[in-house]
A and B are shown apart, each in its own frame.
Chain A
Amino acid sequence: MSALKHPEYPEAKLLQLESMIPCREAQASTLLSIFGKRQHFSFPALFIYGHTSSGKTYVVQILLKTLELPHVFVNCAECFTSKLLLEEMLRQLQCLFIKEEDHSFLSCDTFNDFIRFFKRAPLTPELQNQTIYVVSIYFRSSVMKRRTMSDRIAVFQYLRGCNKEKGESSYSPKHLRHLQKILSHDHPPEYSFDFYAYINILLGVFYPVCRDLKELQHLAALNFSKYCEPVVQGEGDRLWKNIESHLKKAMQTVYLREISSSQWERLQQDNGEPGQVKGLSAHAHVELPYYSKFLLIAAYLASYNPARTDKRFFVKHHGKIRKVNFQKKHEKTSNHLLGPKPFPLDRLLAILYSIVDSRIPPTANIFCQVSEMVACFEP
């Protein structure tokens, strides 16, 4: 018995739909009831939001494709100007309207033109009264009030996790058992479904940190061969013991993209100890010229020490230190918690002169190095 029901569409198709979108039956049936029949009016705009990889794009796309509703998909990240966006929408609409090959390119600069073209578009009779869906991903603004302009359009907008107070349909967060079900859905055929309980171990390690389905799928695919190793070698009783430490290593390396997936796979094949390969962040060593090094050290000292301690630290004969009974009444937060403080160039140079023993002439080179280092770290 299908959980999705709609008089407009045949039962078989709905069953097929249902098998393609596990754990999203409730959302799909809400969407179906909102779509209604083809000739009926629907909401002018629908705003779908949810976490990354909670199936927003997938479900809507599958739904529109399987039911063969006329729709247009645009990605607002690709169409970064309004002209690109409008022309892309028009192009896809043309493909919908005219089935022949001659798609004359329409140039469309303004929203006004778009609406004009849209209203004028020659419609095939079966499309005449249907709702046309425009789905835009990474939607930010600007399309919201389209309804008033032309009648046949229904717009879906959605973006990943939003803080706009205008949600209409939300995708409930994934629960553990949903993830288990979806992840074990595509188990490799040469092993049994029960053997793929591997997923439970994987989730046991990663679930507190990550609920992103895509990430988890990727990790599951990467580490499965390691999991199978004992079975292949003939000692099949140490599956969990074998994999757990391996997965924990994976969290520190692959999950953070410290080492790439291909490197990780190669490591597993060679039976190398994971973590041997130097990750990306291990390459923090940079060769610098002599004076640049001291400039950098001076800058570090200047930004993390308050100016009032300079005299005590850097001046040779600064006089007596008065003995003060330090009363630790209020513990100060360390400077390394608050982050670096800005400092003037004069102070930087003064600290530089005091930490370098030899005399440094203030040549153009020194100043050049200062500005070059700024340019180096500019994003």
Chain B
Amino acid sequence: MSKRKLKKDSFTSGECISKVQKILRERFCHLNPNGKLFGLEHQYKQLLELIKHTAVNGESNSVLIIGPRGSGKTLLVCHVLKKLLEIKEVKENILQVHLNGLLQTNDRIALKEITRQLNLENVVGDKVFGSFAENLAFLLEALKKGDRDHSCPVLFILDEFDLFVHHKNQTLLYNLFDISQSAQTPIAVIGLTCRLDILELMEKRVKSRFSHRQIYLMNSFDFKTYLNICKDQLSLPPEFPEETFIQKWNKHIQSLLEDIKVQDVLQNQFYYNKDLRCLFMLLMLASNNITVSHPYIRISDFLEASKLCRMDTKSNIVHGLSVLELCLIIAMKHLNDTYEGEPFNFQMVYHEYQKFVQRKAHTVYNFEKPVVMKAFERLQLLELIKPIEGPSNFVQKEYLLMKLLLDNSQVMEALQVYPNCPTDVKQWATTSVH
């Protein structure tokens, strides 16, 4: 490897590294409207045509963009809007309203937000006057007054569309789709959602007014494309000031991605999840360790990042338990084995623990019941065990029925790596009860 030589190069200064990090971080951590679209050309054209029709010809449209999380729905809309605004006649002629189902949790807030974003007359000093009914009537009237030829088209973009469906009577959706169906102000309703059964959630009257135009964004690429995306995301753009550095960096990325270990990591990630956002997290974790002393991403960085990504949280929690708590978990595991998954209470666990301690107490002391109870309560606090019914059922805490939220194999695996586990505890865990 020529890494050692590269280190001495003059342009791998702190400034350069900082710029690289800035670019990469912007790509990975921030919804960047300049980011590239991968394999969505067809959908892009479809959506662009549709919105153009609304903006230029005054057609009313409605469309749903459906795809899993991280499949680039928002990015697609961003791209299309950017492209549209480059056209001069569209730019002057269109109004945008952005709504989000997480923010506008009911129709009243959504309506206020619409009036605010449309800058309507009754909005004075950022305060909205009038009741909900007035507001709706006013808005509808303002929209109805317009006609195809004269009024300005409005673009409604509803993020988290499935949350709007849960509003009372779906009033907002009904009104929006109704306007888009009748010859009033031209509007385009674009809904973004990740639910495939979104049409089933709509009321009949709402559904019938919806144009049933759907654009599906599925991550339908294979591993080769995945690798290409990876490469594309990691390499530097030609605008980067240091030209020689770009070449070296990009060459390094190329050789890095050809490495078998790195490909293994990426393949694992690919089989686990095709979501690009998960990939970005991995790349970000791998790339944020670059410093002046090692300016290129190393293979070990990749391996470490993937290790960080695929940690098992439960076993991490189990490793931090004290020996007594671990003993209780093993006792619960034995109870689960003998009674085939029946729920247990503290008394049974304590009984089981007592059987172990009295039989062969070498390293683990025989603790008093209240001490054991405290350990048991701590396990409940960590949600490793959970009461099968609500705790307020007038049952004493000793008799509250619980279930263990750990798998048998999880317990055994955690036990293998548990630091300084007493040998007899380990043996007790492996011996079956019968």
Q: Which residues in A have some Cβ–Cβ distance to B below 8 Å?
A: 5, 7, 33-34, 36-37, 39-44, 49-52, 54, 110-112, 115, 145, 147-149, 151, 160-165, 167-170, 172-176, 207-211, 251-252, 255-256, 258, 281, 333, 336-340, 377-379
- A-B contacts, 7 of them at CB < 8 A, read A7-B291, A34-B288, A36-B288, A51-B317, A148-B159, A173-B319, A281-B370
| Distance (whole angstroms) from the CB of A157 to the closest CB of chain B | 14
- A42 and B371: CB pair below 8 A? no
The digit string for B374-391, where 1 denotes a CB below 8 A from any CB of A, is 110000011110000000
- B25 and A40: CB pair below 8 A? yes
- B405 and A252: CB pair below 8 A? no
- B104 and A256: CB pair below 8 A? no
Chain A residue nearest in CB terms to B32: A41
| Distance, CA A147 to CA B103, complexed state (A) | 12
Instruction: Find residues 280-306 in chain B having any chain A CB closer than 8 Å to their own CB.
Output: 281, 284, 288-289, 291-292
Return the 3 tightest CB-CB contacts between A and B, nearest first. Answer: A173-B320, A339-B399, A161-B382
| Distance, CA A167 to CA B405, complexed state (A) | 17
The verdict on B392 contacting chain A, using a C-beta distance below 8 Å, is yes
Instruction: Find residues 1-33 in chain B having any chain A CB closer than 8 Å to their own CB.
Output: 14, 17-18, 21-22, 25-26, 29-31
Contact A33-B288, Cβ < 8 Å, known A161-B317, A161-B381:
yes
- A110 and B25: CB pair below 8 A? no
Chain A residue nearest in CB terms to B113: A112
Taking a contact as CB atoms closer than 8 A, the residue among A44, A167, A209, A339 that contacts B367 in the complex is A209
| Distance, CA A211 to CA B320, complexed state (A) | 8
Chain A residue nearest in CB terms to B372: A209
Taking a contact as CB atoms closer than 8 A, the residue among B31, B308, B371 that contacts A251 in the complex is B371
| Distance, CA A184 to CA B225, complexed state (A) | 55
A-B contact count (CB 8 A): 150
- B292 and A255: CB pair below 8 A? no
- B399 and A162: CB pair below 8 A? no
Chain B residue nearest in CB terms to A337: B347
Contact A162-B364, Cβ < 8 Å, known A37-B18, A256-B371:
no
- A339 and B31: CB pair below 8 A? no
Taking a contact as CB atoms closer than 8 A, the residue among B289, B292, B405 that contacts A7 in the complex is B292
- B320 and A208: CB pair below 8 A? no
Query: Which residues of B sit under 8 angstroms from A51, Cβ to Cβ?
Result: 317, 320, 382
Taking a contact as CB atoms closer than 8 A, the residue among B22, B289, B396 that contacts A33 in the complex is B289
Query: Which residues of A sit under 8 angstroms from B87, Cβ to Cβ?
Result: none
Query: Which residues of A sit under 8 angstroms from B17, Cβ to Cβ?
Result: 7
Chain A residue nearest in CB terms to B370: A256
Chain A residue nearest in CB terms to B103: A112
Instruction: Find residues 44-88 in chain B having any chain A CB closer than 8 Å to their own CB.
Output: 74
Query: Which residues of A sit under 8 angstroms from B29, Cβ to Cβ?
Result: 41-44
Q: Which residues in B have some Cβ–Cβ distance to A below 8 Å?
A: 14, 17-18, 21-22, 25-26, 29-31, 74, 100, 102-105, 109, 113, 159, 281, 284, 288-289, 291-292, 308, 311, 313-314, 316-317, 319-324, 345, 347-348, 351, 364-365, 367-368, 370-371, 374-375, 381-384, 392, 394-396, 398-399, 401, 405, 419-420
Taking a contact as CB atoms closer than 8 A, the residue among B102, B281, B351, B383 that contacts A163 in the complex is B383
Query: Which residues of A sit under 8 angstroms from B348, Cβ to Cβ?
Result: 333, 337-338
Chain B residue nearest in CB terms to A42: B29
- B284 and A255: CB pair below 8 A? no
Query: Which residues of B sit under 8 angstroms from A333, Cβ to Cβ?
Result: 348
| Distance (whole angstroms) from the CB of B350 to the closest CB of chain A | 9
Query: Which residues of A sit under 8 angstroms from B317, Cβ to Cβ?
Result: 49, 51, 161-163
Taking a contact as CB atoms closer than 8 A, the residue among A115, A160, A163 that contacts B103 in the complex is A115
- B324 and A208: CB pair below 8 A? yes
- A211 and B381: CB pair below 8 A? no
- A149 and B103: CB pair below 8 A? yes
| Distance, CA A315 to CA B132, complexed state (A) | 72
Chain A residue nearest in CB terms to B14: A7
Contact A176-B102, Cβ < 8 Å, known A40-B21, A44-B29, A163-B314:
no
Query: Which residues of B sit under 8 angstroms from A111, Cβ to Cβ?
Result: 102-103, 105
- B322 and A209: CB pair below 8 A? yes
- A160 and B381: CB pair below 8 A? yes
- Given A7-B18, A39-B22, A161-B381, 11 new contacts (CB under 8 A): A33-B289, A34-B288, A36-B25, A112-B105, A148-B159, A173-B319, A251-B371, A255-B374, A337-B347, A337-B351, A339-B398
Contact A208-B365, Cβ < 8 Å, known A115-B103, A174-B320:
yes
Query: Which residues of B sit under 8 angstroms from A42, Cβ to Cβ?
Result: 25, 29
| Distance (whole angstroms) from the CB of B146 to the closest CB of chain A | 27
- A209 and B382: CB pair below 8 A? no
| Distance, CA A7 to CA B367, complexed state (A) | 52
- A37 and B21: CB pair below 8 A? yes
Query: Which residues of A sit under 8 angstroms from B18, Cβ to Cβ?
Result: 7, 37
Query: Which residues of B sit under 8 angstroms from A168, Cβ to Cβ?
Result: 308
Chain B residue nearest in CB terms to A206: B322
Chain A residue nearest in CB terms to B384: A163
- A151 and B392: CB pair below 8 A? no
| Distance, CA A47 to CA B379, complexed state (A) | 21
Chain B residue nearest in CB terms to A374: B394
